[in-house]
Structure 1
Amino acid sequence: MKVLIHRAYKSFNLNETIAWIKLISITGASQVFIQGLSFVGGILIIRSLPTNQYALYTLANTMLGTMSVLADGGITTGVLAQGGKVWQDREKLGVVLATGLNLRMKLALLSLLFSMPILLYLLHHHGASWIMTLVIAAALVPAFFTSLSGSMLEVTPRLVQQIIPLQKIQVGANLGRLTLLVASVFAFPLAFIAILAAGLPQIWANIKLRALSAQFADNTQKPDAEIGRQIFAMVKRLLPESIYYCVSGQITIWLISILGSTTSIAQVGALGRFSMVFGVISTLLSALFYPRFARLPSDSRLLLKRYVQIQAVVIIVSGAVICAVWLLSDKLLLLLGAKYAGLSTEVVLLIIGGGINFISGSSFYMCTSRGWVINPIITIVISIASISLGVMLLDISTLRGILIFNILVGLPTLLMHIVYGVRRILTVEQSGD
């Protein structure tokens, strides 16, 4: 015991610990503010839109997430992994970024062609006229392309840890969204107005992100075929899982949109606003920890130590969030308005599912930040088995049933990603990373 205490004391660096506390405090406070603006905007939309319009908004937003996952297909992860090797070289980092943007645009067009017909059908199926359906779809296109460019342009400032300038841009974009929402949705409580108001400020953000990124990555560089092959090699491994994630990751919305009512879609979308708390922590991890994990040397002891530390924080925070929502569920529902009262059990179930997916995602992103990708066949087989079991055991036509189903599907995926992460780290020295 004395030996362990002595080792812990020797490894403790007070200055480094203080520096981390300051960095996490400043970044965390900024992210709370950023996500707080987003949360207020979301509550404003929920309370302003009629239930049927909010259901259409939820469907469109869910499809936006699906389109973004398909258009990325692992490209951002590949850029992060490749950029982590050359992040101190402005020209090489510029080549990596240019290659990633070029690949992403090609996948974006394919994603748009695949996803739009499905969205048009679902919107019309849930009561939107054909004119309203086309207007909502048209409003989604600029939000789609600007969000894709924005997430790619954020890779450079995250790699070089320019967190404060990045967060200033994010604050500006979210203030713009909230301002546009206040100015529009009260007068025009329509789904497509809310989508436009939420998406347009990203144009300004992308201009600022491009200027920030250009300080550390040469934006005059051209795509490189060899780097493209390396990124695409990761895409080939991640794309099957990304495609499957489009189904399984949003399985709650997809199933309820097919089997449930328009009201149930609105309820799932409204309750989902509370899971944004995981978005605060996830953004913090993406800004501070995943890029640093990507840059770590190929030392299995150090990698395992950081992996366990990050996962421990994620698990503790997830548990705290679930307990807080359980204790305050009735009060939290007051924020959504009378249309969503009486869903105390449902909001707790949704947060439990969100916590499970958050822990699983943390392990997944740490692995992929270093270019480690689990065999997609394993992922798909395990997920299909858990989905099939859930469909057989649960009534997924009800809101409560679909939320329990989401928990059941998430648990095997969580276990799979953690086991893979630990095993992959333990083989680093033998494989040379």
Structure 2
Amino acid sequence: MQAVQIAKAKRWAKQISITGAAQIIVQAVGFLSGILVIRLLPVEQYAYYTIANTMLGTMTILSDSGISSGVMAQGGKVWQDKKKLGAVLNTGLYLRRRFAWVALSITIPILSYLLWKQGADWITCVLITASLIPAFFAALSDNILQIVPKLHQNITPLQQNQVTVGIGRLLLSGLTLFAFPWAFVAVFASGIPRIWGNGKLKKIAEPYIDRSQRANTSVQVEIMRMVKRILPSSMYFALSAEITVWLLSIFGTTTAVAQIGALGRFSLVFSIISSITSIVVLPRIARLNPKSEKKLFFIGMSILSTFFVCLIAVSLLSVLSPYVLWILGDNYSSLKQEFVLVLIAGALKMVSGLVFGISTARGKPTNSMHIIAGNIMAITIGALFFSLNELAGILSLSILIGFTSLIINVLNLFLNLKFFINN
């Protein structure tokens, strides 16, 4: 028995180390692309770029609204059956296409207003909006397609695709921004490689699914049940996930918007951790047999280990902040305090997201209204004590929101322990 446990531990250590190494490469390439954009774009154009990227994230959240979580949960039940998994996948893709048009109708007017608020003329607004379309349509399916190799733990082709897309973005950004240092060019250069990578994802998923299967009504009902549970929080998080950028875009200066965008590049540390949990941990939790006696131990160790890794990352980067900020250039090298606040906010968001993902993978996501009510309370308290037109004040508010969300998600997990034990 002990030999079996040791063998399992070795397999886990090997898979996590391989996945982690690959994600370091993926994030390093993405980081280089981000630094290239920061250094080549003027502060004003980088502020526009930050707003556009934030809006792309909002578009993606709204077009998903819990669909990918539903696909993961339903796919985890039938992952060994090509026909049933194909039906789950195509149902998810069908729903995302329908949600996409709603997301566009909501976000494009908001994007135009925020760009105008920061001084962009109408031509710039149109060009930036148009440049977002390729990346948005690629995002409609890539999150769903990735679920198939994740469930089968066929991780290597998935990561190779991510590395290739990242290198393509780096090369395209470098070739275009030297000659055309405009925000819409940077956004467009980022989106084109994602379309190519999307095509590769379809080929990676192909051996595990029957693509001829049509969207299934019963699967759609189950996915929509998950969507209805998550949708209110998805709509709320679409606006609140990047609340720092939203508030600075409305109340702050163009320089402050550029600063928060530049500092956010160092969230790659938590992106690496998030990618590992998304690729290795959450699919395995979704697949756990209801009769398994080690479910709670596995869930608890996943949360604790992620927390300690985030704690080490925050501590180490805080000590090295003068050297880290030098990478961004002279415009951002004095933001030591703000940098530490960004790290703390990112760590809280990472751990909170993991806890929420675990609950969702087992079919009991945190009630949307609890999250919204808690975050509104945090925003109200934060608005009374923090200055919302200063970067440090906005980041302090972000930390308060992240801490509140973490507490709510942990409470949901704890209160549903009996369900997790029996299902």
Q: Shift of residue 11 of structure 1?
A: 8.4
Q: Match of 2:393?
A: 401
Alignment correspondent of 2:185: 193
Residues in 2 aligned to 1:26 and 1:373: alpha-carbon distance in whole angstroms: 29
| Matching residue of 1:36 | 28
Aligned letter for 1:356? L
CA contact (8 A) 2:362 2:420 kept: no
Distance in 2 of aligned mates of 1:129 and 1:379: 37
In the other structure, the counterpart of 2:197 is: 205
Select 2:227's aligned residue among 195, 214, 235.
235
Partner of residue 178 from structure 1, selected from 163, 170, 174 = 170
Please show how residues 59-208 of structure 1 align to structure 2 within 5 Å. 59-208=51-200
Distance 2:222 2:12 in 1: 33
When the two chains are superposed, the root-mean-square deviation of aligned CA atoms in Å is 1.3
Q: Is the 8 A contact 1:300 1:428 kept in 2?
A: no
1:361 paired residue number: 353
User: Which residue does 1:341 correspond to in 2?
Assistant: 333
Match of 2:13 in 1: 21
AA partner of residue 35 (structure 1): Q
> How far apart are the structure 2 equivalents of 1:428 and 1:134?
48
How far apart in 1 are the matches of 2:106 and 2:257? 22
Give 1:182's aligned amino acid: G
Is 1:225 the equivalent of 2:217? Answer: yes
Would you say 1:307 and 2:296 are equivalent positions?
no
DSSP-derived class of the 1:218 partner? coil
Show the counterpart of 1:4. none
- Give the total of aligned pairs: 423
Tell me, which stretches of 5 or more residues in structure 1 are unaligned? Answer: 1-8
Q: Which residue of 2 aligns with 1:5?
A: none
The residue type paired with residue 28 of structure 1 is G
Select 1:58's aligned residue among 17, 36, 50: 50
Using the alignment, how far apart are the partners of 1:115 and 1:277 within structure 2?
Answer: 28
Q: Counterpart of 1:200 in 2: which secondary structure? A: helix
CA contact (8 A) 2:88 2:215 kept: yes
What displacement does 1:343 show?
A: 0.3
- Alpha-carbon distance between aligned partners in 2 of 1:149 and 1:127, rounded to the nearest angstrom: 34
Alignment equivalent of 1:351, drawn from 335, 343, 346: 343
Return the letter of the residue paired with 2:363: G
1:294 paired to 2:292? no
1:275-286 paired onto structure 2 within 5 Å: 275-286=267-278
Distance in 1, Cα, partners of 2:388 & 2:357: 29
Letter in 2 for 1:258: I
Q: Which residue of 1 aligns with 2:256?
A: 264
Mapped to 2, the partners of 1:120 and 1:303 lie a distance apart of 47
Q: TM-score, normalised by structure 2?
A: 0.98
Contact 1:300–1:427 (CA under 8 A) maintained in structure 2: no
- How do 1:234-253 and structure 2 match up within 5 A? 234-253=226-245
- Secondary structure of the corresponding residue to residue 188 of structure 2: helix
1:384 correspondence with 2:384? no
Query: Counterpart in 2 of 1:422?
Result: 414
Corresponding residue SS for 2:181: coil
Distance 1:93 1:328 in 2: 46
User: Percent sequence identity over matched residues?
Assistant: 43
Residue 321 of structure 2 is aligned to residue 329 of structure 1: yes
Give the distance between the partners of 2:2 and 2:207, measured in 1 at CA. 38
Assess if the C-alpha contact under 8 Å between 1:304 and 1:422 holds in 2.
Answer: no
Tell me by how many angstroms 1:409 deviates.
1.4
User: TM-score, structure 1 length as denominator?
Assistant: 0.96
Q: CA deviation at 1:280?
A: 0.7
Task: Give, in angstroms, the shift of residue 64 of structure 1.
Answer: 0.4
Provide the C-alpha distance between the structure 2 equivalents of 1:13 and 1:371, rounded to a whole number of angstroms: 28
Secondary structure at the aligned position of 1:13 is classed as: helix
Q: CA deviation at 1:300?
A: 7.5
* Residue identity in the other structure for 2:70: G
Q: CA deviation at 1:428?
A: 3.3
1:190 alignment partner AA: W
Deviation at 1:301, TM superposition (A): 4.7
4+ runs of 1 displaced by more than 6 Å?
none
Superposition deviation, residue 372 in structure 1:
1.2
Unaligned runs of 5+ in 2: none
C-alpha distance after superposition, 1:53-81 (max 9, x if no partner): 00000000000000100000000000000
Query: Aligned AA for 1:415?
Result: I
